[in-house]
Chain A
Amino acid sequence: MKKNRFSFKKIAAIIMMAALVIPAGGCGKAAAVGEITVINYGEYLDPDMLDLFTKETGIKVNYEEAITPEEMYTKYSSGAIKYDLVCSSDYMMKKMILEGDFQEIPWDAMENKDNIGDKFYEFSSAFDPGNKYCVPYFWGTLGILYDTTKVKGPVDSWDVLFNGEYAGDIIMQNSMKDTFMVALKYLGYSVNTDNPDELKEAQQLLLAQKPDVQAYLVDEARDEVVAGNAAMAVVYSGEAYLGHEYNNDLAYVVPKEGSNVWIDCWAITKECEHPEYAAKFLDFLCREDVGMTNFEYIYYSTPNEKVVENMDEELRNDESIVPSDASVEKCEVCVQVDDDVTALMNELWKELKSE
């Protein structure tokens, strides 16, 4: 009996401890100048930078992550949490701008805005005319990652995916937009086409290619090429850089027909009550040292020209880190958000996958 009572005491002690800890956890974080709530992609900012920002400005950052633009949009529009700042991709930015979800960036409060190259403001003007709402954050291209020991000669065209020479050794993206973009570009059409005939032609091309495709994958695409299970894969430039880190025989190319150039941006929501805090955060992200730290955390292409200038020679000449002007020249930003086009593409994609 005595033993049992002792264990009850223990349980009671545990409960009391818990009761003490809960309120302590709740109020230990107050007493800041203010706070902002931010939603970003996962693993898309060095967490130390959040601490640094709070230390410098006294503004607390509630940091939230999302995996896809669609998830971010769902979280934002559910209204359960009021976000001040969102980071997302080109087409989602366009959709939200058209919906009127953002307020204009107070550019005058942004001392470091010129660290971002003009080229990137030009890119983002494709979905943000007049550069009112968006601050470019990271960018990159879509291209082919290939194993130089398995592929003859340097690859320079999408043709290598479609000519049947590497049947069974090709990995395509298991993503509707990315895969259609490849076919559209190879056929010489715009990635933002709204012409049903062009989309159908692209689908025919992909159908003909399908027997040669080993698999449609997402982030495993890179690993398959790294491991030597496939000769080539369609991947984004950031993935290609990591692939090259693991396996020196890999090379990355943006085909000469052109491709998709993606750009992720920050914007201030219309719900934000303190745009001056949000602007401080954006300005902080554009600062050279912060940009460099984030670049070294993420290894995607940075639009921050000061950071590019200070990179190692080797990195600066890496096509997957700093895509050259020549390779980007024929690339397009994806801004197609028309519902009918998306529905048709969905239909064609389903047919392709179920064939």
Chain B
Amino acid sequence: MKRFKDIISGIYIGFIGLILYAPILVLIVLSFNASRSRVTWGGFTFDWYIRLFSNQQILEALFTTLILAFASSAVSVLVGVPGALGIHAMNKKKYGIFMTLTNIPMLNADIVTGIALMLWFVHFIPLGFGSVLLAHITFNIPYVILSVMPRIQQMNLSVYEATRDLGAGPVYAFFKVLLPEMMPGIISGFFMAFTMSMDDFVITYFTKGAGVNTLSTMIYGEIRKGIKPEMYALSTIIFVAVSIILLCVNTLSEKHKNHIVEEKNL
């Protein structure tokens, strides 16, 4: 009976795994296909990978995407962390109001945010890299606040007050006590913002100026004549890179947990 259960659960997990990863597998296989067509196999090749690194347009879009993700999440952290501290310090009523205000942009449909930002921007600044960056910062800030807030709530503020009592200045106390406590939240907020920025198509599409392309808007432009196999190659590389990073993070945090357990046992 137990064996039967194991088999059923194995099949179920295998099936879910297949549904989740089969499309990516197809993409990876196509990135090695010598034929440009999606339906004929022309033999194994590394051609698309070689071409990818000599394709200025794709590399430029990749660079724009990364810079955008990096800069927007960094600025969001700079704005979001003090923001979270400030909101936390508010009284209950104001806290409620401000948390709702920060949550709305996350729940709001991208297309509404995108069009609203575009209408707003065209009155003040030329659409270009700057406008996309501002838009990304706008939708990233709530994610930073959302992931920092729980850390602040768990934090024991008495430690900060004790530091001040013992003669530490506010800046010193902030960097020595508050920041280290918030750091895990800040890092996860940063990465969440980074991912959101890399993922975004709709808001970028509406706020970008002529000549600025991220990977997502560039792939969209290719739809009419068929997506180039170089894109399959790039997607494969991104998928592998992300998998490796996740694996490293997981092993590291696993080690870290064991470390903490050991310390406690001592």
Interface residues of B in 189-229 (CB under 8 A from A): 190, 209-211, 220-226, 228
Contact code string A82-111 (vs B, CB < 8 Å = 1, else 0): 010000000000000000000000000000
Q: Flag whether A343 is at the interface (Cβ < 8 A).
A: no
* Complex interface: chain B residues within 8 A of A283 (CB): none
Interface residues of A in 22-46 (CB under 8 A from B): 22, 25-26, 37-39, 41-44
The residue in chain A whose Cβ has the minimal distance to the Cβ of B42 is: A246
- State which of A4, A38, A47 has its C-beta within 8 Å of the C-beta of B180: A4
* Complex interface: chain B residues within 8 A of A14 (CB): 70, 74
Contact yes or no, B224 A43, CB < 8 A: yes
Contact yes or no, B122 A80, CB < 8 A: yes
Contact yes or no, B38 A223, CB < 8 A: yes
* Complex interface: chain B residues within 8 A of A227 (CB): 39-40
Q: How far is the CB of A227 from chain B (nearest CB, A)?
A: 4
User: Given A15-B77, A18-B74, do A81 and B209 touch, yes or no (CB 8 Å)?
Assistant: yes
Q: Flag whether B133 is at the interface (Cβ < 8 A).
A: yes
Per the bound structure, the CA–CA distance linking A224 and B39 in Å amounts to: 8
Q: Flag whether B151 is at the interface (Cβ < 8 A).
A: no
Per the bound structure, the CA–CA distance linking A67 and B227 in Å amounts to: 12
- State which of A4, A21, A38 has its C-beta within 8 Å of the C-beta of B210: A38
* Complex interface: chain A residues within 8 A of B190 (CB): 11
Interface residues of A in 52-75 (CB under 8 A from B): 61-68
* Complex interface: chain B residues within 8 A of A43 (CB): 221-222, 224-225, 228
Contact yes or no, B179 A8, CB < 8 A: yes
* Complex interface: chain A residues within 8 A of B122 (CB): 79-80
Per the bound structure, the CA–CA distance linking A245 and B224 in Å amounts to: 18
Contact yes or no, B224 A64, CB < 8 A: no
User: Given A4-B180, A223-B39, A226-B40, do A80 and B175 touch, yes or no (CB 8 Å)?
Assistant: no
Q: Flag whether B109 is at the interface (Cβ < 8 A).
A: no
Contact yes or no, B222 A42, CB < 8 A: yes
The residue in chain B whose Cβ has the minimal distance to the Cβ of A81 is: B210
Per the bound structure, the CA–CA distance linking A8 and B181 in Å amounts to: 11
Per the bound structure, the CA–CA distance linking A72 and B138 in Å amounts to: 27
Contact yes or no, B210 A37, CB < 8 A: yes
Contact yes or no, B224 A8, CB < 8 A: no
Interface residues of A in 222-236 (CB under 8 A from B): 223-224, 226-227
Per the bound structure, the CA–CA distance linking A58 and B70 in Å amounts to: 32
Contact yes or no, A1 B180, CB < 8 A: yes
Per the bound structure, the CA–CA distance linking A25 and B132 in Å amounts to: 13
The residue in chain A whose Cβ has the minimal distance to the Cβ of B71 is: A18
Q: How far is the CB of B114 from chain A (nearest CB, A)?
A: 11
The residue in chain A whose Cβ has the minimal distance to the Cβ of B226 is: A219
Per the bound structure, the CA–CA distance linking A246 and B190 in Å amounts to: 46
The residue in chain A whose Cβ has the minimal distance to the Cβ of B180 is: A4
Q: Flag whether B113 is at the interface (Cβ < 8 A).
A: no
Per the bound structure, the CA–CA distance linking A242 and B186 in Å amounts to: 50
Q: Flag whether A77 is at the interface (Cβ < 8 A).
A: no
Contact code string A1-12 (vs B, CB < 8 Å = 1, else 0): 100110110010
Per the bound structure, the CA–CA distance linking A26 and B71 in Å amounts to: 13
The residue in chain B whose Cβ has the minimal distance to the Cβ of A51 is: B56
Per the bound structure, the CA–CA distance linking A186 and B56 in Å amounts to: 46
The residue in chain B whose Cβ has the minimal distance to the Cβ of A80 is: B122
Q: How far is the CB of B132 from chain A (nearest CB, A)?
A: 11
Q: How far is the CB of A272 from chain B (nearest CB, A)?
A: 13
Per the bound structure, the CA–CA distance linking A257 and B27 in Å amounts to: 42
Contact yes or no, B78 A15, CB < 8 A: yes
Q: Flag whether A175 is at the interface (Cβ < 8 A).
A: no
Per the bound structure, the CA–CA distance linking A298 and B225 in Å amounts to: 9
Q: Flag whether A324 is at the interface (Cβ < 8 A).
A: no
User: Given A21-B71, A43-B222, do A226 and B211 touch, yes or no (CB 8 Å)?
Assistant: no
The residue in chain A whose Cβ has the minimal distance to the Cβ of B179 is: A8
Per the bound structure, the CA–CA distance linking A149 and B36 in Å amounts to: 23
Per the bound structure, the CA–CA distance linking A238 and B35 in Å amounts to: 18
Q: Which residues of B contact A (CB under 8 A)?
A: 35-40, 56-57, 67, 70-71, 74-75, 77-78, 118, 121-122, 127, 129-130, 133, 175-176, 179-180, 183, 186-187, 190, 209-211, 220-226, 228
Contacts A18-B70, A42-B223 known; list 13 others, CB within 8 Å: A8-B179, A15-B75, A22-B133, A25-B129, A26-B130, A38-B210, A42-B221, A42-B224, A43-B228, A44-B224, A80-B122, A246-B37, A246-B40
A-B CB contact pairs (8 Å), 22 listed: A8-B175, A8-B183, A11-B77, A14-B70, A15-B74, A18-B67, A25-B129, A38-B210, A39-B210, A43-B225, A44-B224, A44-B225, A64-B210, A67-B221, A67-B224, A78-B118, A80-B118, A80-B127, A219-B224, A219-B226, A223-B38, A246-B40
